[in-house]
Structure 1
Amino acid sequence: MEVLIEKLRIIEKMKIIRKYIITFLKWVIIAGITGLLAGLVGSVFHISVEYATTFRVKNDWVIFILPLGGIIIIWLYNLLKMSENIGTNLVIKSVRTDDKVPFVMAPLIFISTVITHLFGGSAGREGAALQLGGSIGTQVGKIFKLDEKDMHLITLCGMSGVFAALFGTPLTATFFSMEVISVGIIHYSAFIPCIVSSICAYKVSIFFGIEPVRFNLAIIPNISPENMIKVAILGGLCALVSIIFCRSLHKTNTFLSNLIKNSYIRVFLGGLVIVILTFVIHTRDYNGAGMDVITNAINGNSKPEAFILKIIFTAITISVGYKGGEIVPTFFIGATFGCFAGKLLGIDPGFGAAIGLIALFCGVVNTLITSVILSIELFGAQGLILFAIACGVSYMLSGYYSLYSSQKIVYSKLKAEFIDRNAL
């Protein structure tokens, strides 16, 4: 009898082991396929945006077509019976609920973002990355007939993959997808699927010749009490700017939607305002993503007013209906503000720009671990402690404001308390 019982125990253990192995292999295969697709789509999207940006830079006159480009975007969304307000928030919400990410979202956000960049709207590309990835993940999940819980994971896989392909930061992409959905908790069951998808997508982007986003810092301060205090102050200031940026986006959107009900008129007038502002300030720095301005700031060169103007340009662009994303503008705002504030605080302006970029990103998306990892992938690990301090301060002091209104704040930032509330 004892021998029989022992055999039954062994059989039961073998069943458990088999379950783990099958689940592991399932996700390696499905996430790998998702990553390859995400990498392919993300690479084509990246090349398209870069081509659009290059064309715009070489042909200044195309900015006059921006209002017409906005009308085309609204028309496309109406043609395919999609609200222009549906976007990244739907993808984030779908991971927590039964909401589905429609396939049509992928081509819409792809084309609309390219149009925005081609004609000079102030936007990034991560919004498109998350929507493209969410759509790809959902379609792969349908093909493999995944259940509800697994559909949530495959959506995260798609998000991670396209994000990694666009920015060349696979570990950041992995944790961003895991951390951005619900602030205060991370479901580590998503790690293997997301990291596999991210690495596959990243390798595909390298194959297409897309260089990862990397910066070299000329000066990295020592970890001294004085420098830690300065960095903490800069992190606190970035938290304040993050609140201003988030509120500017949301309030501008609400104000313009109430003021101008017709979406065609709203996007046309908004595009016209961007064109006028561009000529008033006599520079094209605030059209498109502005990666060159970010690079200059990290090299220690930036205009004091740059971060304010970028907030204005981005708030108008996104609020009236143009597409893209807010993360690269966040990098722009953070880097230029950090460069400016760093000089005032006695921090090397280039290093201040790097701190500002990371700390502001942390403040607007509420992803602490992701932000620390991003600092390593973008700038290396030498200044890790200082980056971590700035991120911690920005995360805590930025409150419950977010770029994404569908983001859920599960646990308080101030104490171990379950609050389960939507971001502001």
Structure 2
Amino acid sequence: MNKHVVEQTVIFFSVSKWLFLSSAVGIMIGGLMSVFLNILSTAEQTRSLLPFPFYFTLPFALMLTTWIVRTFDQNATGHGTEKVIEAVHKRDGYINAKVIPVKLVATVLTIFSGGSVGKEGPGAQIGAGAASFVATLLKFSKSDRKKLVICGISAGFASVFGTPIAGAIFGIEVLIIGVIMYDVLLPSFIAGFAAFTTAQFLGVTYHYYDINMYRAFNLDFGLIGQVVMAGVFFGIVSDLFITAVNKIETGIRTIPYNRYLKAFVAGLVMVIISYFLSESYLGLGLGTIRDALSPSTLISDNVHWYDFILKTIFTAITLGSGGSGGIITPVFYVGATSGVVFGHLTGDHIALFAALGFVSVLAGTTNSPIASIIMAVELFGVHMANYAALSVVIAFLITGHRSVFQSQKLALNKADNITIGKGNDLDDTSISIDMKDIDKVKRLRNRLRYKRLRWQVKNAKDDFE
């Protein structure tokens, strides 16, 4: 028989197999996500029944989630996407099914009480856990189980955020920096679309943003320059977010006190700050994100310049002290609010830069530029594509070889003169830089210091005269 015919026949049956499997898994995960999102929504609505501010429960909730996770499944701690990436790379996608109810309960408790976490981590972990359970039940091979779990990740993201294409790409792009796993591309798309459609059918609603504010923008050089600067700014914000979250989480965990006492004190600190300053840093923070993305400056002016800094701190404290949830929603918050700050600095297009921050900080903190660009189009409209592509890629590069997901594997040099250990986890990767480049940076820094000193001396003379 002709080899070409055999090849096409084998491919046809493989495609048919994964069309069925990814569709079935996507529908199942869409159903699970609708249950999770509805429980979460109901929990947030019941806050108003409390005779005191809901966030007064935060210290006790953090103690309770710490106990739940420690007692039933420690893989449910922190932000779930990290655990899923680790499972794909180190255990061929095997995830214990008991993580699903544990993660759901711990996340709902954390968000209900005001813990600063997101919902994508549970979405990814519940989706991947369900896919792993199905693969184990049907006795799939390790490679097929891994493939199905990646479909579960994509389905979880797609159904949580309402972005089926970006969710599918994110599920495969977030695993290895610089590599797209094309063999999982079709199943991931199908699983993402099936989960998104199922969740919508079961009553889940998604929020998309007004694109009319972008229609009037012309691709002029002034705006392009601002977008380039915005990309650099969002790359720096991403780097600061990664550093702050890692340092604060590590710092809390190394404090030599009882974990339940640390959880209570951490919650109490956030309660005090929220009581005297603002509640906007608690929970998902979707209201603040919507304000930042509003085309009306009267609404976006509600966002303060320090909001993204405090949200970063609250997120790190919550995750480091026993809270359970995702990290992407806080990333959206930080990106959108820092975009408002940049918009005020440039004096115009505040909603545009908030939207660019939304996706650019996602790309910078998670090393997912393609998914971030597609998400910009899905959430904000096709008119965002040119601006988003420029800002997102710059932010992705500026952040360097770092991520909020330390289990990501590295397969890409972000600069020619940097040598990295490819194929390792980010936390195990060695990075070396050419001494000539180090010397150039030192000379540039000294030159800037000299110019600053001259400027200070000149100002001092002018003041004296």
TM-score range, shorter chain: over 0.9
Do residues 138 (structure 1) and 136 (structure 2) align?
no
1:7-26 per-position Cα deviation (integer Å, ceiling 9, x unaligned): x3x2x443322211111111
Question: What residue in structure 2 maps to residue 5 of structure 1?
Answer: none
Do residues 278 (structure 1) and 274 (structure 2) align?
yes
Once residues 185 and 40 of structure 2 are traced to their aligned partners in structure 1, the CA distance between those partners, rounded to angstroms, is 29
Describe how 1:15-30 pairs up with structure 2 within 5 A: 15-30=6-21
AA aligned to 2:425 is: N
Question: What residue in structure 2 maps to residue 304 of structure 1?
Answer: 305
Question: What residue in structure 1 maps to residue 354 of structure 2?
Answer: 353
Q: Check conservation: 1:95, 1:153, Cα contact below 8 A.
A: no
Larger radius of gyration: 2
AA aligned to 1:162 is: G
Question: What residue in structure 2 maps to residue 201 of structure 1?
Answer: 195
AA aligned to 2:13 is: I
How much does 1:213 deviate?
3.1
Once residues 411 and 333 of structure 1 are traced to their aligned partners in structure 2, the CA distance between those partners, rounded to angstroms, is 26
Do residues 289 (structure 1) and 284 (structure 2) align?
yes
Do residues 33 (structure 1) and 24 (structure 2) align?
yes
Q: Check conservation: 1:53, 1:288, Cα contact below 8 A.
A: no
TM-score normalized by the length of structure 2: 0.85
Do residues 14 (structure 1) and 17 (structure 2) align?
no
SS at match of 1:383: helix
Once residues 422 and 82 of structure 1 are traced to their aligned partners in structure 2, the CA distance between those partners, rounded to angstroms, is 21
Do residues 105 (structure 1) and 99 (structure 2) align?
yes
SS at match of 1:213: coil
1:249-306 per-position Cα deviation (integer Å, ceiling 9, x unaligned): 111111111114422122121111111111121x211111111111111114121121
Once residues 288 and 68 of structure 1 are traced to their aligned partners in structure 2, the CA distance between those partners, rounded to angstroms, is 15
Once residues 78 and 390 of structure 1 are traced to their aligned partners in structure 2, the CA distance between those partners, rounded to angstroms, is 41
AA aligned to 1:192 is: L
Question: What residue in structure 2 maps to residue 121 of structure 1?
Answer: 115
Moved more, 204-213 or 319-328: 204-213
Do residues 322 (structure 1) and 323 (structure 2) align?
yes
Q: Check conservation: 1:74, 1:84, Cα contact below 8 A.
A: no
Count of residues paired in the alignment: 414
Q: Check conservation: 1:267, 1:320, Cα contact below 8 A.
A: yes
Moved more, 192-201 or 65-74: 65-74
Q: Check conservation: 2:76, 2:103, Cα contact below 8 A.
A: no
Do residues 227 (structure 1) and 223 (structure 2) align?
yes
Once residues 222 and 349 of structure 2 are traced to their aligned partners in structure 1, the CA distance between those partners, rounded to angstroms, is 13
Once residues 364 and 356 of structure 2 are traced to their aligned partners in structure 1, the CA distance between those partners, rounded to angstroms, is 12
Do residues 51 (structure 1) and 45 (structure 2) align?
no
Task: Structure 2: state its 5+ residue gaps.
Answer: 428-465
Once residues 57 and 167 of structure 1 are traced to their aligned partners in structure 2, the CA distance between those partners, rounded to angstroms, is 25
Q: Check conservation: 2:76, 2:102, Cα contact below 8 A.
A: no
How much does 1:403 deviate?
0.9
Q: 172, 186, 191: which is aligned to 2:185?
A: 191
Question: What residue in structure 2 maps to residue 4 of structure 1?
Answer: none
SS at match of 1:219: helix
Once residues 33 and 84 of structure 1 are traced to their aligned partners in structure 2, the CA distance between those partners, rounded to angstroms, is 25
Once residues 70 and 87 of structure 2 are traced to their aligned partners in structure 1, the CA distance between those partners, rounded to angstroms, is 22
Do residues 423 (structure 1) and 417 (structure 2) align?
no
Do residues 157 (structure 1) and 151 (structure 2) align?
yes
Question: What residue in structure 1 maps to residue 444 of structure 2?
Answer: none
Q: 78, 81, 92: which is aligned to 1:88?
A: 81
Q: 236, 252, 259: which is aligned to 2:255?
A: 259
Once residues 58 and 35 of structure 2 are traced to their aligned partners in structure 1, the CA distance between those partners, rounded to angstroms, is 23
SS at match of 1:331: helix
Moved more, 194-203 or 256-265: 256-265
AA aligned to 1:28 is: L
- Identity within the alignment, %: 28
Q: 166, 175, 192: which is aligned to 2:169?
A: 175
AA aligned to 1:35 is: G
1:47-94 per-position Cα deviation (integer Å, ceiling 9, x unaligned): 111122222256453322211111221221222253564743221022
Question: What residue in structure 1 maps to residue 337 of structure 2?
Answer: 336
When residues 197 and 81 of structure 1 are mapped into structure 2, their CA distance, relative to the original with a 3 A threshold, is: closer
How much does 1:235 deviate?
1.0
Q: Check conservation: 2:86, 2:407, Cα contact below 8 A.
A: yes
Task: Structure 1: state its 5+ residue gaps.
Answer: 1-7
Moved more, 197-206 or 211-220: 211-220
1:148-178 per-position Cα deviation (integer Å, ceiling 9, x unaligned): 1111111111111121111110001110011
SS at match of 2:53: helix
Once residues 84 and 24 of structure 1 are traced to their aligned partners in structure 2, the CA distance between those partners, rounded to angstroms, is 33
When residues 347 and 152 of structure 1 are mapped into structure 2, their CA distance, relative to the original with a 3 A threshold, is: farther
Once residues 198 and 111 of structure 2 are traced to their aligned partners in structure 1, the CA distance between those partners, rounded to angstroms, is 23
How much does 1:189 deviate?
0.8
Once residues 239 and 69 of structure 2 are traced to their aligned partners in structure 1, the CA distance between those partners, rounded to angstroms, is 30
How much does 1:115 deviate?
0.3
Once residues 27 and 76 of structure 2 are traced to their aligned partners in structure 1, the CA distance between those partners, rounded to angstroms, is 28
AA aligned to 1:204 is: T
Moved more, 141-150 or 347-356: 141-150
1:79-111 per-position Cα deviation (integer Å, ceiling 9, x unaligned): 225356474322102222335211111111111
Once residues 42 and 246 of structure 1 are traced to their aligned partners in structure 2, the CA distance between those partners, rounded to angstroms, is 28
